[in-house]
Chain A
């Protein structure tokens, strides 16, 4: 399978990465090189094989349903590019 420039632009939009026409064109070539490389997986017989879900057999541990962290609004907002009174500030979303 390969991608065209329109697909590159659509994927960039899904990935929320602004892309110029020139870059989309370059990226088309780069992505197709990678997609051509992974194409060889199609020759593997995977009939009846379970997809891997956990690389080391283990059961997910459970913990008590209790609050064990929090009350750290200062810590959480201290790295924000823009914040105000423990709120993350973003451009207006709702008119």
Chain B
């Protein structure tokens, strides 16, 4: 492996500024790594090599002129749900076949404005609906942490099986872990940044709802979706988030407040900070390893001077069922636009309704169809109040749980990121029972329901040698606290 690939974003930034390396060298190293490794991992579904080299050369020219941006010359992978002008953008769905947007998402435009280089589009669960990257039209992604060639523990002692990288941002997490990019964009509706980060030993930040613009992101559940980075360490994630975040008049839910320099808080003392430990996050059937790592995390923060306090978030167990009403309801509405008329796939029919029905049956995968069906059902006449209105009331209670502990002086909350480490591709117990798969998000989904920021950081490994993560949950717009405390873990 080329030494260039071992540079974090922060290290590469320094070497680029000192002109020890060029962005073109760095970009070529990543393109070669993708060429060599992607066939096995399936992390990238489109590689934009020519565009990458062009952008790298432009970065080198800007560095030479002393006009470098915050991410100048840094090669990134982009989750397939971000619209990139003129480039494959399908949210890994068959129904968007051939779609090349004539516009650019705000988040990626922010990255390019800061000088970042795009390597290609990353695999994901179809329309971000999944926790294993197995619902992608482009096939599953292999988690590099299980593979010996990536220094993995010989498949984590689980025999000769490939492991999932988590999802929905499975391509992003796998590419970062396998050094196929310096960092990646991801998105999180119920845990889609934090769960794959935990499964691959990387760092993922799901910012406060409204911190990043959703304009140009393929919509799944609009009141929950939020953009964020997956990176190798907390510092890199902080660097990326600063560039991704902005106020955007094109997203009426984006919040107009200044974007802080998240990196600046790294290394600051956490002495006196109050860290809440919610008792409801100790679940039956939870991996024994994660409990031990949670204790270690607490000990580390206590040693660094933080005060550890027990707290209660009584409505935690209702977050996942409420999510599986709210998210499908919003998805069924958002995905109504895929009708074979304006973009993507069309399957001809006898009349226009037949054309719609055949197009949507052929274009959406099983999981997406299930969620559209659930959403359509819970919003249908006679059921709306019993399901949707009740779920939104429960959501209010979930947010009030958090508001109460924050009002009592808690700064951040420490929890496990996932109930287990990565599982094998094709795990039958999860394939047969959709709810078993949904339980992956049991610790992360509360954060989306309450609109709060969360970060997943590597905590150690389980008995089989596979990485597991801890999650920190912050106050609204408390991303700096997450970075500060996350850097200590």
Contacts and interface: CB of A to CB of B under 8 A. Distances in A.
Interface string A39-82: 11110101001111111101011010000000010011011111
A41 B435 contact: no
A78 B99 CA distance: 9
Interface size classification for chain A: 35 or more
B299 to A, nearest CB: 33
Contacts of A56: 208-210, 253, 255, 451, 476
B434 A51 contact: no
Interface in A1-57: 1, 3, 7-8, 11-19, 27, 30-31, 33-35, 37-42, 44, 46, 49-56
Contact of A16 (B224, B353, B370): B353
B349 A91 contact: yes
Contacts of A19: 361
B341 A33 contact: no
A46 B343 contact: no
A42 to B, nearest CB: 8
B394 interface: yes
Nearest to A81: B346
B393 interface: yes
B387 interface: yes
Interface residues of B, number: 77
Q: Which of A18, A56, A60, A79 has the most CB of B within 10 A?
A: A56
Contact of B360 (A17, A40, A91): A17
A12 B356 CA distance: 12
Nearest to B349: A91
Given A33-B433, A37-B435, A88 B357 contact: no
Interface string B235-261: 000000000000001001101100000
Interface string B198-235: 00000000001110000000000001100000000000
B186 interface: no
A27 B355 contact: no
A50 B396 contact: yes
Contact of A63 (B210, B249, B374, B433): B249
B321 interface: yes
B312 interface: no
B352 A55 contact: no
Contacts of B322: 38, 41
Contacts of B255: 56, 58
A40 B320 CA distance: 10
B373 A38 contact: no
B102 A72 contact: yes
Given A55-B399, A91-B349, A34 B324 contact: yes
A15 B209 contact: no
Q: Which of A30, A34, A79 has the most CB of B within 10 A?
A: A34
Nearest to A40: B321
B434 A33 contact: yes
Contacts of B373: 8, 11-12, 15, 17, 27, 31
Contacts of B433: 33
Contact of A79 (B344, B350, B391, B399): B344
A8 B340 CA distance: 23
Given A56-B210, A61-B252, 13 more contacts: A16-B360, A31-B377, A33-B435, A40-B317, A40-B318, A41-B394, A46-B390, A76-B102, A79-B98, A79-B99, A79-B342, A81-B341, A90-B355
14 contacts: A1-B386, A31-B377, A33-B435, A34-B435, A38-B324, A44-B393, A51-B392, A54-B253, A55-B451, A58-B255, A79-B344, A81-B344, A90-B355, A91-B351
Interface of B: 98-103, 208-210, 223-224, 249, 252-253, 255-256, 315, 317-318, 320-322, 324-325, 332, 336, 339-346, 348-358, 360-361, 364, 369-370, 372-374, 376-377, 380, 383, 386-387, 389-397, 399, 433-435, 438, 449-451, 476
The 9 closest A-B pairs by CB, nearest first: A55-B451, A51-B392, A81-B346, A75-B102, A18-B357, A79-B343, A18-B361, A46-B393, A38-B321
